[in-house]
Amino acid sequence: MAYTMMQTPRGTEDFLPRDAERKRWVEETLRGLFWRWGYREIITPTMEFYDAVRAGDTTGLADNLYRFFEREGDILALRPDMTTPIARVVATRLQDSAKPLRLCYHANVFRYAEPQAGRRREFYQSGVELVGSGSHLADAEVIALTVESLKAVGLQGFRVDIGHVDYYDGILESSGLPPEERRSLRLALLKKDYVALEELTAACSLSRDDRELLLELPGLRGGREILAKAMERAANPISQGAIANLTAIYDALDAYGLTDWIQVDLGMIKDIEYYTGMVLEAYTADMGFTIGTGGRYDHLIQQFGYQCPATGFALGIERIMLALSRQHGWTAAPNVRVLCMGLAQQPQLAWDTAEQLRAKGFPVELDVSGSGEDEAVAYAAAQGFHWVVDPLTHHRARVWTQGGGWREQELSELTAALEGENGSG
């Protein structure tokens, strides 16, 4: 019992100050970007009614829900994603709002899954939902914003894969396979179990062309040439329509100058079943799992009684943090911290100096221990402070910097130096 009390539940973690600061920096960077693109933040409850989260059993998440009874007897669940709660809000409270709606969020979500690298039971997401437009241009905006988001936080070597669920679904729709065989094929593709895929296609009553195309799906990856090849191979109108839609999306991204970060992947199969069109996944070379996911979901909001098309994406905050750490990419986060001495000897002067620096936007700690220079410097070094300030007057101070020792300096010169260091990261 005592040991359990000292631990966090499986699949959860504490964010110590440094990681908490980094997490907030990523979220604030994304929040600012989303705002500049016209997305307004929405906040929903951490818990929802179980039936609402299930959304008619179309999400594929029902088996991974944290469920519990409230005292009144209703079954509640912790939200497993943010798309479903936002779909509920759109259907129940925003029907009469002008469309399209651009909504964004920064939230924790919960899924009961076996914890492993990059997968936790409580994790954090930032994302957007573009609601009320069925245009390929809405999908292109969502993909473009995914790219710009990963650029904004400083990730290197990333790509965004895009596919379309109707390309795969069109093959199976024309095949007449029973649901059990369809599920088995889908699971094999989802798990990238190509041996099982080959065995299943051989055992299914598929035409030769459909069998060959299913086996080719994992290899249909690349640029514009893949779209042309996939259109040639498509033998049914559903798959052909998917490629036509994806080509229009790709053309828009090409016009935006973003195709260097885009890869077409027609073998992409999602583990959440509410997607109806374009789908996306984001990766970096440093990670063996996605750092972002999303796509079009035109029927999910209808589960709450209001037909409305929508598209969006979600980014995994902890996964972005892990990728940045592996790439040593944290230099973009402002990190200049100041320790201000003299509170015990000259409280008003120390207070005024700290407030002056804080007004410039710098994080400043006042030395409440009344320690001497050596102790203050040791503390500053241990805590990662860049500057120690011992004010002499309201305009001048003794200043210590890492690697620079002590010197006297005008406060105006100090704030200019701090601003330069803060701006350069």
For residue 348, what pLDDT band results from cuts at 50, 70 and 90?
Answer: very high
| pLDDT at position 116 | 67
Note the CATH architecture for domain 2-330: 2-Layer Sandwich (3.30)
Cβ–Cβ < 8 Å for 244, 211: no
Say yes or no to pLDDT of 2 above 60: no
Is pLDDT larger for residue 27 or for residue 12? 27
Give the least confident one: 35-49, 136-150, 326-340: 326-340
For residue 421, what pLDDT band results from cuts at 50, 70 and 90?
Answer: low
Cβ–Cβ < 8 Å for 194, 218: yes
Averaged pLDDT score across all residues of the chain: 88
On whether the 334-424 domain is CATH 3.10.310.40, my answer is no
Say yes or no to pLDDT of 405 above 90: no
| pLDDT at position 279 | 97
With the C-alpha atoms ordered 41, 42, 45, 49, is the resulting torsion angle positive or negative?
negative
Q: What is the dihedral of CA 320, 83, 128, 116, to 10 degrees?
A: 0
Say yes or no to pLDDT of 268 above 50: yes
**Angle ∠(418,424,425) on CA atoms, nearest 5:** 85
Q: What is the pTM of this model?
A: 0.88
With the C-alpha atoms ordered 167, 168, 173, 176, is the resulting torsion angle positive or negative?
positive
Helices and strands (H and E) in the chain: how many: 15, 17
Task: For residue range 121-164, list pLDDT tens digits in order.
Answer: 889 999 999 999 999 999 999 999 999 999 999 999 999 999 99
Cβ–Cβ < 8 Å for 58, 303: yes
Kindly give the residue spans of alpha helices, DSSP state H, lying in 256-280.
Answer: none
| pLDDT at position 61 | 61
Mean pLDDT of 304-313: 96
| pLDDT at position 425 | 40
Mean pLDDT of 257-285: 91
Residue spans per domain, the chain: 2-330, 334-424
Kindly give the residue spans of alpha helices, DSSP state H, lying in 9-57.
Answer: 17-36, 50-54
Cβ–Cβ < 8 Å for 353, 378: no
Give the least confident one: 129-138, 218-227, 379-388: 379-388
Is pLDDT larger for residue 169 or for residue 279? 279
The per-residue b/e assignment along 81-114, b for 16 or more CB within 10 angstroms, e otherwise, is: bbbbbbbbbbbeebeeeebbbbbbbbbebbbeee
Mean pLDDT of 63-72: 86
Q: What is the CA radius of gyration of the chain?
A: 26
| pLDDT at position 417 | 74
Residue that has been written with the tokens 């997968």 in this structure: 119
Longest dimension (CA), the chain: 88
Q: How far is CA 117 from the centre of its chain?
A: 16
Distances 272 to 63, 110, 224, 231 between C-alpha atoms, Å: 12, 15, 27, 26
| pLDDT at position 424 | 43
| pLDDT at position 340 | 93
**Among candidates 418, 421, 420, 425, which has minimal Cα distance to 353?**
418
Q: How many CA atoms lie within 13 A of 325 on its CB side?
A: 10
Say yes or no to pLDDT of 59 above 90: no
**Percent of the chain scoring above 70 in pLDDT:** 93
Give the least confident one: 36-40, 101-105, 331-335: 331-335
DSSP tag of 127: E
- Give the Cα separation of 347 and 45 in Å (integer): 44
For residue 232, what pLDDT band results from cuts at 50, 70 and 90?
Answer: very high
Distances 228 to 161, 232, 250, 281 between C-alpha atoms, Å: 17, 6, 12, 21
For residue 397, what pLDDT band results from cuts at 50, 70 and 90?
Answer: very high
Mean pLDDT of 397-401: 91
